[in-house]
Chain A
């Protein structure tokens, strides 16, 4: 009995651990902390600083000169961070566009392959529209013209 329990748990364990190893390999995107995360954190921290600065001025902890100097400094930092963020997001968007394009191309190629494949095995062409048709087809798959 004990032995059976042990065996059962062990088997379940091995299955759970081994499962990911036999899955098809997916592209390992973003295995380093993305620059974007970092830039977002940087931007948030500058925003927080600005917010605190604003509060500090409202509460009279800073005089105008100090406030202006620091505000300028943070604004510059924010501008740099935002520009980098834009660039990173642009890259992201470009990647997205690329991926979409790739997919479109793949899809078209697939249909094209099917068509050529069909053309290879084609028994003839539709008399009405000229589409390649298989030997067993009774009607044209494109225009529905009777083939017999």
Chain B
């Protein structure tokens, strides 16, 4: 099996090179035999890489410790499902294979669904994808084979890092990979358009959908990662501005910018160069992110697998970015705008401002991420920037974005005057202020959280009222109730209202972030059994400690706490610390009590340590208001993005009708 895997990868490398050349040559010289052969190459590559993945999974499941990947990332007592399988992407070579595999699956779907409908672009798309695959297959074949052997076969493997043994860790990396890797597809389409010179609007719908898919996965991956951190790492938070988190956030932000500005291109034929630039940047950032995780240049909690392939990655990123930019300049004449901006207060202009802000946020984060390197070069000392930098800079930019989110629904495409806009802002502003006053009454007193609430409320009101008023307008002509009317409205215009639903879910998520960051509390107290501690209206009774009970690979020390509110016992919490002997690693297991009405707050408790032979135990208690809204917003984000992705029913029908009248589904070629 091992041999089968490594042979498959080696052959896949040559198939990738061949398909790239054949696709390019076939498209340029108009030789359909060659492009068809390149298409077969893409499919074949998928089969070969899938074979390699299957071979590696087989080795993992059969505990073949002669492979270094198996020996280093799993052990006999690791459960097969899911953790032994997740060991696939735990190491560097495994994760590169996983990357290439996901890209091959993406490319298979793209080739099968678009080969006929986007005939002119697809050979180029295949060639660009295969260029990227050539790089990965090269690494896998010549630099860091996932089938590398151990010099001595150990009796048992080293096991999987205990903090990765969590159900969410079976989900977080694949989601992030689906996001990261998926940005290759819009990049390939963009490059195909540039290479072929077919820069009209026909491919925009395609590229928009293929951007939404990885964008959604990346967003979900970030949220699942945040939830994992919250549940596992035991510091009471979900986002730490870690370089690797940042490197996933950056392409997401740039992708968000693109998803907005592409609408301007669809409507007005403007911002063509800008959009191309955004796609190139987003793709380059995903590769750069991989470089960060893999190179060890920058210290990170995510550096589970460091190695020497960093320079190769950096070289590839530089090469791809340069080539893409050169191509963009070469085609500049074909990318001139079809229209001019009509008015200063138009959606187009505000979308451009939104784009600048999103890109600005990504750049600000990038500067923060590479600051250790920059400062070393500039001053000779390695300086890192921490949360305060990001909170300030990115916080201010996000505030601007939320403000735009509030204003844009008030104005149409084409524009308005400021006087009219002012007039329309009165009611939403009034409502927003009322909500802010409510927050004040409920105990929010600091200016910055109140300002944040005001902005979020304003955006919520204008977005919500846009949906509400449209539903009311619909009710005038139909006999539907408000709920039906809203559902129909969303169902008939997925893009517009799905987009608004995404805005609402992001606002809910943002409220969760503001609440849980601005009013989080963090206390440490040492308790002896029987002792009580009252904080935030909860009375915590320390009822005892069970030291070092064996559980699986670990020895677990569990504390039992009774939680009382107003004299009534509401919950029993059991925070723990487990010690993994094999890895000599201690893992805290927080417990969380979600205080339910209106997602009020979480009570989050960890055991910090003990003294006096387990007689005194020190606890750390976090109270995180509104943090549940972060996860609620995340789920809504998923649902509304899926809604947005589906084609609108009437658009679909119109397209089908138009196509049905044509020869074999195709029009005559353009001369």
A, B: real partners: yes
Residues 1-58 of B at the A interface (beta carbon under 8 Å)? 3-4, 7-8, 11, 15, 18, 22, 30, 32-34, 36-37, 39-41, 43-44, 48
Measured CA separation A74–B661 after assembly (Å): 26
Cβ–Cβ < 8 Å partners of A85 in chain B: 658
A99 adjacent to B663 (CB under 8 Å):
yes
Is B493 positioned at the interface, with any CB of A under 8 Å from its CB?
Answer: yes
Is B166 positioned at the interface, with any CB of A under 8 Å from its CB?
Answer: no
Cβ–Cβ < 8 Å partners of B40 in chain A: 16-17, 19-20
Which of A22-30, A110-118, A130-138 forms part of the interface with chain B? Answer: A22-30
Cβ–Cβ < 8 Å partners of B664 in chain A: 29
Quote the shortest CB–CB distance from A142 to chain B (angstroms).
37
Is B654 positioned at the interface, with any CB of A under 8 Å from its CB?
Answer: yes
Quote the shortest CB–CB distance from B25 to chain A (angstroms).
12
B412 adjacent to A52 (CB under 8 Å):
yes
Quote the shortest CB–CB distance from B671 to chain A (angstroms).
9
Known: A5-B4, A38-B202, A51-B493. A20 touches B470 (CB 8 A): no
Interface mask (A1-45 → B, CB under 8 Å = 1, otherwise 0): 110011001100100111111010110111111111110111011
Cβ–Cβ < 8 Å partners of B495 in chain A: 48
Which residue of the partner chain, among B34, B201, B267, B667, contacts A88 with CB atoms under 8 Å? B667
Quote the shortest CB–CB distance from B77 to chain A (angstroms).
32
Is A72 positioned at the interface, with any CB of B under 8 Å from its CB?
Answer: no
Measured CA separation A95–B43 after assembly (Å): 33
Cβ–Cβ < 8 Å partners of A96 in chain B: 662-663
Cβ–Cβ < 8 Å partners of A93 in chain B: 661-662
Measured CA separation A49–B200 after assembly (Å): 18
A13 adjacent to B7 (CB under 8 Å):
no
Is A147 positioned at the interface, with any CB of B under 8 Å from its CB?
Answer: no
Cβ–Cβ < 8 Å partners of A148 in chain B: none
Cβ–Cβ < 8 Å partners of B399 in chain A: none
A17 adjacent to B37 (CB under 8 Å):
yes
Measured CA separation A30–B651 after assembly (Å): 23
Known: A6-B7, A61-B412. A89 touches B670 (CB 8 A): no
Cβ–Cβ < 8 Å partners of A51 in chain B: 493
Q: How large is the interface on B (under 10, 10 to 19, 20 to 34, 35 or more residues)?
A: 35 or more
Which residue of the partner chain, among A1, A2, A25, contacts B33 with CB atoms under 8 Å? A25
Q: How large is the interface on A (under 10, 10 to 19, 20 to 34, 35 or more residues)?
A: 35 or more
Cβ–Cβ < 8 Å partners of A101 in chain B: none
Cβ–Cβ < 8 Å partners of A53 in chain B: 412-413
Which of B116-124, B249-257, B385-393, B609-617 forms part of the interface with chain A? Answer: B116-124
Which residue of the partner chain, among B416, B470, B662, contacts A36 with CB atoms under 8 Å? B662
B666 adjacent to A56 (CB under 8 Å):
no
A33 adjacent to B30 (CB under 8 Å):
no
Interface mask (A53-86 → B, CB under 8 Å = 1, otherwise 0): 1011011111100100010000000000000010
Known: A40-B655, A44-B651. A56 touches B4 (CB 8 A): no
Chain A facing B: main interface SS? helix
Quote the shortest CB–CB distance from B406 to chain A (angstroms).
14
Known: A20-B37, A34-B670, A44-B654. A26 touches B44 (CB 8 A): no
Cβ–Cβ < 8 Å partners of A63 in chain B: 420
B668 adjacent to A38 (CB under 8 Å):
no
B666 adjacent to A38 (CB under 8 Å):
no
A31 adjacent to B669 (CB under 8 Å):
yes
A44 adjacent to B202 (CB under 8 Å):
no
A91 adjacent to B30 (CB under 8 Å):
no
Measured CA separation A52–B414 after assembly (Å): 11
A33 adjacent to B200 (CB under 8 Å):
yes
Is A124 positioned at the interface, with any CB of B under 8 Å from its CB?
Answer: no
Is B638 positioned at the interface, with any CB of A under 8 Å from its CB?
Answer: no
Is B488 positioned at the interface, with any CB of A under 8 Å from its CB?
Answer: no
Measured CA separation A85–B657 after assembly (Å): 13
Is A141 positioned at the interface, with any CB of B under 8 Å from its CB?
Answer: no
Is B473 positioned at the interface, with any CB of A under 8 Å from its CB?
Answer: yes
Is B600 positioned at the interface, with any CB of A under 8 Å from its CB?
Answer: no
Question: Could you jot down 17 A-B contacts, CB within 8 Å?
Answer: A13-B15, A16-B40, A17-B22, A29-B664, A31-B120, A32-B198, A37-B202, A41-B201, A44-B651, A53-B412, A55-B496, A59-B466, A59-B473, A61-B412, A66-B416, A88-B668, A92-B668
